[in-house]
Amino acid sequence: MKIFVLSAKKLILCATVLLIAAFSLPSFIETMETSTKTKELPIYSVETEEKKIAVTFDSAWNDDDIDTIISVLNEHNCPSTFFVTGDWAERFPESLKKLYNAGHEIASHSYNHTLYSTLSKDEIIADMDKCDSAIQSVLGIRPNLMRAPSGDYTNNSILACKETGRYCIQWNIDSLDWKNLTEEQMKERIFAKLQPGSILLFHNGTKQTASALPGILQALKNEGYTFCKVGDLIYKENYTIDHTGRQQKASS
C-alpha cells in the first residue's frame, strides 16, 4: 500500500481550492438557474381576426405639435394611446388634459425616461408610481399600461408590472419618426410589418410626425384597418404571449 504525504504548501493549496469552490458554488447555481428561466416578454402585438390596430405615441420631449396631432387623429377617427413621462405631465398639464378630453388613452412611460435596465424591480415600481401620481394629479386617473423608456424592458420591469396590476406594452412596428424620416419612408416601414393587432410606435415633439400622420392614417384606412386604444386591443386576462411577443387569447 502506497502512502501519499502532502507537503504544507500542497495542503494549503488544496484547502484554498476547496474554499474557493465552496464560496463559488452558490453563485454558480444561481447563475445557472437564472439562465434557464423563461425570458419575460411585454406585449408587442395582439392576435385578432379583426383588422384593428393601435396607434401609440411616446411623449417625453415637448408639446409643440399636440394640437395638430389631436386634430389629425380626430379627423381620421383614430383614438390613440399616449405613453407620457411623469415630468412631461408636470411640464405640460394643459396638453395632457387636451389629449384625455379628446378621448385618447393616457399611459405611463416612466417618470423621467430613466432606463429600466439600470433599476431594480423595487426601484422600477417606485418610478412607475411616481409617474402615475404625476398623471393622476392632472387627470384624476391612474394608468394601468406602461411602456419602458426606449423600450428597454427587462424581466424585472415586466414582473414589476405584473405584480402591480399593470400591462407592459411594446410595439411591433416602429415608425422611426424621431429620425426625421419622410412620410413615404415611414409608410414603407409600417406596411412591411402591418397585420391585424399591430401596435404602432410614433412620438410627438418631432419634426415630421404631425405632418406625416394624415397620409399614413389615410393609407391604413384605405387598407381596411380601423384604430383603437391599446387598452381596447389587448386581452386583460386568460392570455398567453408567444416568443415574438404576440398576445393570444388562451383556449378555454
- When pLDDT is cut at 50, 70 and 90, the band that residue 251 belongs to is confident
Q: The pTM is what?
A: 0.85
The yes-or-no verdict on residue 18 having pLDDT over 60 is: no
Average pLDDT taken over every residue of the chain: 90
User: Chain centroid to CA 169: how far?
Assistant: 4
What CATH number should be reported for the domain whose range is 45-249?
Answer: 3.20.20.370
pLDDT in tens, 72-130: 999 999 999 999 999 999 999 999 999 999 999 999 999 999 999 999 999 999 999 99
Percent of the chain with pLDDT over 70: 85
Bridge partners (DSSP) listed for residue 168 = 146
Residue 111, helix vs strand vs coil: coil
Total H helices, total E strands in the chain: 9, 11
The yes-or-no verdict on residue 190 having pLDDT over 90 is: yes
The yes-or-no verdict on residue 45 having pLDDT over 80 is: yes
Cβ atoms 60, 86 nearer than 8 A: no
Give the integer Cα–Cα distance in Å for 152 and 161: 14
* Grid cell of 212 as nine digits: 406625416
* Grid cell of 149 as nine digits: 423608456
Q: How far, CA to CA in Å, does 181 sit from each of 14, 24, 189, 221, 250? A: 64, 51, 10, 21, 38
pLDDT in tens, 138-171: 999 999 999 999 999 999 999 999 999 999 999 9
The yes-or-no verdict on residue 212 having pLDDT over 90 is: yes
Percent of the chain with pLDDT over 90: 84
Report the range of poorest mean pLDDT among 24-28, 89-93, 163-167, 226-230.
24-28
